[in-house]
Amino acid sequence: MEYFLTEQQKLIKSIARRIAEERILPVRAELDEKEQFPWEIIKDIANADLFRIFIPEQYEGMGEGSFALCIAVEELSRACAGVALTYAADALGAFPLLLYASEEQKQQYLPAIASGARLTAFGLTESGAGSDAGAIKTTAKRDGDGYILNGTKQFITNGGEAEIYTVIALTDPTKGARGASAFIVEKGTPGFTFGKKEKKMGIRCSATRELVFHNCRIPRENLLSREGMGFIVTMKTLDSSRPGVGALAIGLAQGALEAAVAYARQRVQFGHPVSSIQAVQHMLANMAMELEAARALVYATAKTIDSGAKDFTEEGAMAKVFATDMAMKVTTDAVQVFGGAGYMRDYPVEKMMRDAKINQIYEGTNQVLRNVIALELLRRKGLRD
């Protein structure tokens, strides 16, 4: 399928693919087994300039857009979704800065993010505020020329490993969702510590931790945009990052499909390779079709964003829901094609199936996002240009 990549996008794809095949593939099982953060690979990704993709040129980035980011995420995910997530979550943590930071803030933080020297994380979720993000309780109380943060964030990707955190906290608890603001908090700030590292079903090399704020003082300069803008920052950030999640799902499914095809071609039962059995062929065909449809949807969404569209909430939600549901199905089917061997940890597909699940949950559960899609759909009365 021709997706019309530019020369630079083709380079991004080939470099990300080489990292995936030469650096990630040989160690992915071990990283998963040991739940080890992939620092060495992050260094390789940084040296290859892939963190520069989503940063504008004036801050030492390459000024590429959503599509280029999706390509990179997809290629890395094809080898390991956990590593790809670590990279994609860095973009997630950077988006609030890219969209809402002041010039001074951008100069201060973006170059280090572009070089991969400092990783980022996005801190929204709390134990009482998942889908109901409005129910957050972390506060940021104005105190002199700064703010004091109190509260605990939960399930934060890159938590503990990242150095730059964009955190959503209530500056005015009386105003509900409108009382939230976005802040930049750096690792090492007194009063900012981390909770335990979560033990997960999948994406085990990705670090997921609580962020604990106890009388954590940050300077006024660390407020992003204005007080009260917290949820707008959140909504726009998540809108921008959804195609990336879609890309992660596509890469993951691609890797699973390739493994399933390779296995089916050489596994002989009843005197024939199982790939010659029609039931298996139909499974593979369905997997391939759904994967390609998801890819086309994610790419189209990314290109829509790159074209400068102001509103892409519905498209982003569709791409994320469709691709992640597809990846769950494709990875599950891949295990099925492998048969008994697929269930064994010595073979790569059971990890892919475990990795797939979270994508249907984070960045907006697929149920909430279906609400979002429906509301947009109804608003436009189902009509299209």
Partner 1 sequence: MNIIVCIKQVPGTTEIKIDPKTNTLVREGVKSIVNPFDTYALEEGVRLKERYGGKVTVITMGPPQAEEALRETISLGADEAILLSDRAFAGSDTWATSYVLSKAITKIANYDIVICGRQTLDGDTGQVGPELSEMLKIPFVSYVSKIEEIKDKYIRVQRMIEEGHEIIETTLPAVITVVKEINVPRLPSLRGSMKAKTAKIPVWTAADIGAEADKAGIPGSPTRVVRIFFPKREHKSEMLQGTLEEQVAKLVEQMEKII
Partner 2 sequence: MTIQIDVEKCTGCGSCVPVCPFGVMELVNDRARVKEGCNLCGACVDACTFDAIKIEKAEQKVSEGYKGVWVFAEQRDGKLKSVAYELVSEGRKLANKLGTELGAVCLGHNIKDVEQLVCYGADKIYLADDPALADHNEDFYTELLLDLIRKHRPEILIAGATSMGRSFVPRVAALLYTGLTADCTGLDIDPETKLLLQTRPTFGGNVMATIMCQAKRPQMSTVRPHVFKKGTHHKERKGQIIKVDFKKEAVTARTKLVKFIEDLTEKVKLDEAEIIVSGGRGLGKPENFQILKELAEVLGAAVGSSRPPVDEGWIPYSHQVGQTGKTVCPKLYIACGISGSVQHIAGMGTSECIIAINEDPNAPIFQVATYGVVGDMFKVIPMLTEKLKRSRGLI
In order, the DSSP letters of 277-306 are SHHHHHHHHHHHHHHHHHHHHHHHHHHHHH
Listed ranges 45-53, 91-99, 135-143, 213-221: which one lies at the site for partner 1 (CB under 8 A)? 45-53
Residues 189, 163 contacting (CB under 8 angstroms): no
Summarize the chain as % helix, strand, coil (round to 5): 60, 15, 25
* CB-based burial label for 159 (10 Å; 0-12, 13-18, 19+): buried
The single-letter code of the amino acid at 293 is A
Q: List the single partner that 347 binds among partner 1, partner 2, none, CB under 5 to 8 Å by kind.
A: partner 2
Residue from 5, 29, 35, 49 touching partner 1 (CB under 8 A): that is 49
Q: List the single partner that 50 binds among partner 1, partner 2, none, CB under 5 to 8 Å by kind.
A: partner 1
Residue from 31, 42, 53, 169 touching partner 1 (CB under 8 A): that is 53
* Side-chain half-sphere CA neighbours of 139 within 13 A: 11
SS3 199: coil
If binding means CB under 8 A, how many residues of this protein chain bind partner 2?
A: 4
If binding means CB under 8 A, how many residues of this protein chain bind partner 1?
A: 17
- Cβ proximity to partner 2: between 4 and 270 the closer is 270
Distance CA 155, CA 161 (A): 13
**Pairing state of beta strands 180-186 and 164-170?**
antiparallel
For residue 62, give the nearest of 51, 52, 73 by alpha carbon: 52
Listed ranges 9-17, 82-90, 132-140, 322-330: which one lies at the site for partner 1 (CB under 8 A)? 9-17
58 binds partner 1 (CB under 8 A): no
Residue from 5, 15, 261, 341 touching partner 1 (CB under 8 A): that is 15
**Structure-block tokens of residue 230:** 């917290």
85 binds partner 1 (CB under 8 A): no
Q: List the single partner that 346 binds among partner 1, partner 2, none, CB under 5 to 8 Å by kind.
A: partner 2
Per-residue x/- marks for partner 2, 210-249, CB under 8 A? ----------------------------------------
Q: Quickly tell me which residue has 């007194």 as its tokens.
A: 190
- Cβ proximity to partner 2: between 26 and 176 the closer is 26
State the residues that interact with partner 2 by CB under 8 A.
266, 268, 346-347
* Contacting residues toward partner 1, per CB under 8 A: 7-8, 11-12, 15, 18-19, 22-23, 44, 47-50, 52-53, 62
